[in-house]
Amino acid sequence: MTKTDLVIWLDKRAKYVLTLPAVIFVLLMVGFPLVYTLVVSTMEWNLTTRGGARWNNFGNYAELLGSARFWNAVARTFIFSFGSVALEVVLGGSLALYLHRKFYGKNLVKTLFLLPMISTPVAIAMVWLLIFEPNIGLANHVLKGLGIQPQMWLASSKTVMSSLILIAVWQQTPLIMLITLAGLSTLPQEPFESALIDGAGTFQVFYRITLPLTLPYVFIGVLIRIIDASKNYDLIYATTQGGPGLSSETLNIYGFVLGFHYFRMGLGSAMIILFLAILSLVGFLLVRVRRRLFVD
């Protein structure tokens, strides 16, 4: 093959040649760990016992699916994910509508709203641990000032999930706000002008024009946040480590405990594979719903 033939060959296959490094990188960094985890999930492998790993086929999956602790972790994961995202959509959408208007200091206000999102989760967890401290925390001081009984917040099984949802909402609402604000900025002006000419009120314009046109963008934010919230580990572990007891143990925390507290690597890997399957199913259903509502 001459040099000219080589150039022609590369030119015809440029899209494959140029993307090959990225494909190899993804296979090495994503594909190999996934396959390795899948293989380990079919083994009985306890790091505290002799004998190493041995095959047990689907024994780990059967043990997890028959465990009440696993299903409780699934329930907590869904409560944390959907509960936090629902509040983020309401607050983020409201903030986006507010910031969509023109007013003095708009850029400064927008920057201040973004500060929680750019902070590291562990730093946020440390701050909220101080805020929710039962004795000297700011939250209980505010409640006392309002004449409300102080709460145990993160230290009580009755309030720990709602407290974690509150922290997640405080941190991630700016993301929904940004996505919604981007959607609002791309809306055509003709429907609004026609509505004003026809004498439509503010609520009618919002309900019949702004909301339907913005929902596809909001749904993208919901999809991103549901997946991200379901995977949340650092915030929960830094604040409660799944406690008190098991009252805030989500699937990510449970998988970590199985692997690095109990040293049952096979069972922990099976937990992660099941978690990936559940998350993939949720993502698939959300994409189908979006297509059904906004495409078809």
Q: What is the pLDDT of residues 53-68, one digit of tens each?
A: 889 889 999 999 999 9
Q: Residue 226, CB half-sphere, CA atoms under 13 Å: how many? A: 19
Per the prediction, the chain carries an average pLDDT of 90
Q: Are 209 and 93 in contact (CB under 8 A)?
A: no
pLDDT per position as a tens digit, 237-294:
999 999 999 999 999 999 999 999 999 999 999 999 999 999 999 999 988 988 888 7
pLDDT tens digits along 84-130: 999 999 999 999 999 988 888 888 888 888 888 888 889 999 999 99
**What confidence score (pLDDT) does residue 295 get?**
63
Of 4-8, 69-73, 82-86, 218-222, minimum mean pLDDT range = 4-8
**What's residue 101's pLDDT?**
84
For residues 69 and 76, what is the distance between their CA atoms, to the nearest angstrom? Answer: 11
Q: How many angstroms separate the CA atoms of 221 and 172, rounded?
A: 11
Mean pLDDT of the region 154-180 = 94
Mean pLDDT of 225-239: 93
- State the greatest distance between any 2 C-alpha atoms of the chain, in Å, as a whole number: 87
How many angstroms separate the CA atoms of 266 and 59, rounded?
Answer: 10
Are the C-beta atoms of 86 and 162 separated by less than 8 Å?
no
The answer to whether 173 and 99 have CB atoms below 8 angstroms apart is: no
Closest CA to 286 of 145, 85, 114, 113: 85
Query: Which pLDDT score, from 0 to 100, does residue 202 have?
Result: 80
Both structure tokens of 199: 């004498």
CATH of 41-120+169-294, one of 1.10.3720.10, 3.20.20.80, 3.40.50.2000, 3.40.30.10: 1.10.3720.10
Residue 1 pLDDT level (bands cut at 50, 70, 90): low
CA–CA dist 290, 218 (Å, integer): 11
The rounded percent of the chain whose pLDDT value lies above 90 is 58
Cα separation, 269 vs 47, whole angstroms: 13
pLDDT at 118: 86
Q: Residue ranges of the domains in the chain?
A: 41-120+169-294
| pLDDT tens digits, one per residue of 23-51 | 888 888 888 999 999 999 999 998 888 77
